[in-house]
Amino acid sequence: MQDIKAVIADNIIQLRRSNGMTQAELAEILNYTDKAVSKWERKESLPDITVLKAIADCFGVTVDYLITAEHAEPEIIENDNTDEKKKTSIKNRSFITGISVLLVWLIAAFAFVFIGLIGGSGPITWLSFVYAAPASMIVWLVLNSIWFNSRRNFLIISLLMWSVLLAVFLSILPAGPKALLIFILGIPGQAIIILWSRIKRRSK
């Protein structure tokens, strides 16, 4: 078992360095922590078979290549543009995420215009923009969970919580200064998010 750990570790290090990639960059692509990548390279743990396949696809080699000690020639499956393809994929996902968030604000703008056209007035005319903030955080959270580093989710969840509290505050603003009490909920909420984030990191 120790031998296979050493072989896989050496191959990951060699492939990562030859592609000019840091441990953090590889972790970002695999949706793992850089600590996990570091453990693989220090021979402290083995990636499971699905992760090995993802690593092989990332570098354009076979799984056999990763578990073989000696290689006559690199068994490259793809062409030499693998790194460029990864960067393009990350950029495209970032653009899609940005477009999705902007679509939320576009819907809010449509609601604002529609309400104005039918003669609506008062606070309801701008509340569509107020609630667009937490809605866009939800969209960002979903796409980040699918495509990007899940560690960023805790920041997004914090923004989501505070944007919801702000939206509720602005909705009940006519109630007077007592409306500020809504933000007290954010204190224990933020503490829970911080503690939760630490538990998640240790579990990985």
Type of residue at 190: Q
User: What confidence tens digit (pLDDT) does each residue in 167-176 have?
Assistant: 899 888 877 7
CATH 1.10.260.40 positions along the chain are 2-66
Cα(186)–Cα(178) distance, rounded to whole angstroms? Answer: 15
User: What confidence tens digit (pLDDT) does each residue in 146-160 have?
Assistant: 888 777 888 999 999
Architecture of domain 2-66: Orthogonal Bundle (1.10)
Cα(139)–Cα(97) distance, rounded to whole angstroms? Answer: 8
Describe the chain by its helix, strand, coil percentages, rounded to 5.
Answer: 80, 0, 20
Mean pLDDT, residues 94-108: 92
Cα(67)–Cα(95) distance, rounded to whole angstroms? Answer: 36
Counted residue by residue, the chain has a size of 204
pTM confidence score = 0.53
Q: What is the pLDDT of residue 72?
A: 54
Residue 180 and residue 137 in contact, taking contact as beta carbons nearer than 8 Å: no
Of 130, 133, 134, give the one whose Cα is nearest residue 112: 130
